[in-house]
């Protein structure tokens, strides 16, 4: 079921009604990755579909992982860096299915990301976990 966690009165809406989301009113939640928080805008836990804001603290690192399906990220503030390049505020990066990388944010970042399936973590403390 597609939903927005913590959306006021979502249970009163019909299946074809629009969901207007007060993004400011949604809570930030910790992720398994220290220094990275998530604000879930829309999700379908059955399929793995996810649209979310991620807030990276300065120096935060996302362990090496594989994108099981296409991932898209628009950097709203700051930057995220990996061994392939850097995406800075106002820029967009997408990664094809099978792409593997370790990402970090030297000065912090706010990004909007879209996933069709959760990432698969390959090493470290997050191995086998999903970033949600």
Kindly list the averaged pLDDT for each block of 10 residues, start to end, along the chain of length 132. 85 87 95 94 93 97 91 97 96 95 96 92 59 50
Tokens of 99: 């792409």
- Of 69, 74, 75, the closest CA to residue 44 belongs to 69
Instruction: Say what the pTM is.
Output: 0.87
Longest dimension (CA), the chain: 46
pLDDT value at residue 27: 95
Pick the CATH number of 36-132 from 2.60.120.10, 3.20.20.30, 3.40.50.20, 2.60.40.1170: 2.60.120.10
What are the residue ranges spanned by the domains of the chain? Answer: 36-132
pLDDT value at residue 14: 86
């Amino acid at each position: 079921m597609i939903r927005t966690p913590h959306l006021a009165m979502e249970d009163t809406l019909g299946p074809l009604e629009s969901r207007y989301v007060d993004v400011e009113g949604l809570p930030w939640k910790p992720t398994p990755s220290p220094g990275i928080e998530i604000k879930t805008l829309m999700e379908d836990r059955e399929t793995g579909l996810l649209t979310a804001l991620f807030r990276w603290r300065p120096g935060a690192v996302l362990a090496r992982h594989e994108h099981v399906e296409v991932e898209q990220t628009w950097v709203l503030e700051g930057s995220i860096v990996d061994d392939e390049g850097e995406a800075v505020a106002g820029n967009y990066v997408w990664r094809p299915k099978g792409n593997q990388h370790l990402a970090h944010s030297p000065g912090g970042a706010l990004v909007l990301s879209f996933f069709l399936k959760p990432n698969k973590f390959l090493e470290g403390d997050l191995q086998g976990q999903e970033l949600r």
